Chains A and B, each alone.
Chain A
């Protein structure tokens, strides 16, 4: 295979567009794709400060690297979730990335600041904390951004993440979620910061290739709590389809965003519009007490009962 740009031997094949790039030309292609999405979706401007949600994984570090290479003012934020050694390693990767490049990395420590950690939030039905972990991340990324005056939060969600989410929402006909899935979630409340996903049209493989070629030191292992998660099963199914039909994931997601989304009730609203402020923490919510505060109560209770057990 030959590089689409320089005709030299290729390293990364993009099967959905029947092209390939060499290691020297690939980063420029990748960054052009990201820039094109930022501009097309009007995600943010060059004069705006961006807060990147950082996990130490390939997607968030590739996004942060790309945005700084493109000349954007992007700071990072990492949440110490308290998932044992995995969290310590991912924190170390995030801190090293920031310090080697002189970038600002804000951090929140769940256990120290909130009195619980993600392993205290296991769902009774699934036995997994993934849904609760998602709530924790969305809450703190939004709160940190709003408190520090960032106008936009950027996350490393890629094509595989978005296609798997769409697949799950279609499987269960979660119409409310379907209507809100998109690369830009507009602010609908002064304390609700705009969310954007600049990598949403780039596959997980393409993001990983960027991270490897740019020598980004990311955490390769999977979150131990995500083993057996539904999202992984959906990604496996979609990749089986992709093997036979290159471009299937892209067509599924982009086709939905172009044609399907607006046919779904609520599809014109990016984030909830009937918002008020949580009576305890003041963050935007549709109820009296926000989902995070309710969940944090359960987490603290669990954490306290664990501590009591070990004290015996």
Chain B
């Protein structure tokens, strides 16, 4: 499926059956990202299908605050 990784909108083709598997395949931590389909945030157990348009949102910000 087509996965867009924010903020740079890098597009990757990934083969994964669930949200948890998708993040694992991309080597991303679950606590550092949110996976979004359309307007919905998805939990890690949600099944994904080939035609899904998925976005991965990073949530970590750094520097001295």
Contact = CB atoms under 8 A, between A and B. Distances in A.
A240 B59 CA distance: 15
A223 B42 contact: no
Interface string B38-65: 0011111110000000000111111111
Nearest to B19: A13
A1 B43 contact: yes
Given A13-B43, A20-B43, A222-B7, A235 B60 contact: yes
Contacts of B62: 130, 222-223, 226-227, 229, 231-232, 235
Contact of B7 (A160, A221, A229, A243): A221
Nearest to B8: A221
Contacts of A209: 34, 41
Given A160-B60, A232-B62, A12 B31 contact: no
Contact of B59 (A156, A208, A225): A208
A157 B64 CA distance: 10
Interface in A220-257: 220-223, 225-227, 229, 231-232, 235-236, 239-240, 242-243, 249
Given A157-B65, A229-B63, A212 B41 contact: yes
Contacts, number: 101
Q: How extensive is the interface on chain A, given as a class?
A: 35 or more
Contacts of A10: 43
B44 A13 contact: yes
* Residue among B32, B42, B65 with max Cβ neighbours from chain A (10 Å): B65
Interface residues of B, number: 25
Contacts of A15: 30-31
B49 to A, nearest CB: 16
B65 to A, nearest CB: 6
* Residue among A157, A212, A229 with max Cβ neighbours from chain B (10 Å): A212
Interface in A37-87: 55, 57-59
A20 B45 CA distance: 11
A93 interface: no
Nearest to B33: A205
Given A15-B30, A212-B36, A220-B6, A59 B43 contact: no
A133 B59 contact: no
Nearest to B63: A226
A11 interface: yes
Contacts of A190: none
Given A20-B43, A213-B41, A57 B61 contact: yes
Interface of B: 6-7, 29-34, 36, 40-46, 57-65
30 contacts: A11-B41, A15-B30, A15-B31, A20-B43, A59-B61, A130-B63, A155-B65, A156-B65, A157-B65, A204-B31, A204-B32, A204-B60, A205-B33, A207-B59, A208-B34, A208-B57, A208-B59, A212-B41, A220-B7, A222-B7, A222-B61, A222-B62, A223-B61, A231-B63, A232-B60, A235-B60, A239-B31, A242-B29, A243-B29, A243-B31
Interface of A: 1, 10-13, 15, 20, 23, 55, 57-59, 130-131, 133-134, 137, 155-157, 160-161, 203-205, 207-209, 212-213, 220-223, 225-227, 229, 231-232, 235-236, 239-240, 242-243, 249
